[in-house]
A and B are shown apart, each in its own frame.
Chain A
């Protein structure tokens, strides 16, 4: 399965600190995506990184991808209380994504 496995399962940090979340997967992919979900709502797309890219930035987000290790990381810099949410990685083959179980991030004010 190409399902992503996120690590850690839960993360609690102070506002202003950086949050690093990791994802591993098992099969070949052509892209990997990260999503955020606020409690009880739908998922929101954050960033997509293609298999031929190693790093990508979007605002306070930095994503890396290492296809040789089949792993990715999401870094949120200067975290805010509003970043409190669940984060999912989704390895993709063509149009189809398989989501992990998610990481619960709590940012304390």
Chain B
């Protein structure tokens, strides 16, 4: 069964900490995406990557960075966590072109 695996289901971090959210897919997908989901706001795209070492900003990249050193892994980095980054983070991957996304189960991050 094809999978997108997010490293943590729940995470609690302190304000100012550097936070790493990891996402791994086993489908040899070219594209990978990071979204955050907040009540009343839906899913908002943070960053995406079309290939190894390539990244593009989404709609809300401020306060985040990403890393894609290997095709199967896409990491989201919160450089200095703040309380307004408390959210559900969803990773997804897809083949190149117009194709369906496969999502991970999500990481619920709380910044205190």
Mark A residues whose CB is within 8 Å of B. Answer: 30-31, 33, 35, 40-45, 48, 50, 88, 92, 94-102
B interface residues, how many (CB within 8 angstroms)? 28
Q: How far is the CA of A94 from the CA of B35 in the complex (A)?
A: 18
CB distance from B88 to the nearest CB of A (A): 8
Which residue numbers of B lie inside 8 Å of A, CB to CB?
4, 30-31, 35, 40-43, 45, 48, 50, 59, 88, 90, 92, 94, 96-106, 108
Residues of B within 8 A of A40 (CB): 88, 106, 108
Q: Is A88 a contact of B42 with CB atoms below 8 Å? A: yes
Judge whether A95 and B42 touch: CB under 8 Å: no
Q: A45 vs B98: C-alpha distance in the bound complex, in angstroms? A: 13
Closest to A97 in B: B101
- Cβ-defined partner of B50 (8 Å) among A42, A44, A95, A100: A95
The answer to whether B106 and A30 have CB atoms under 8 Å apart is no
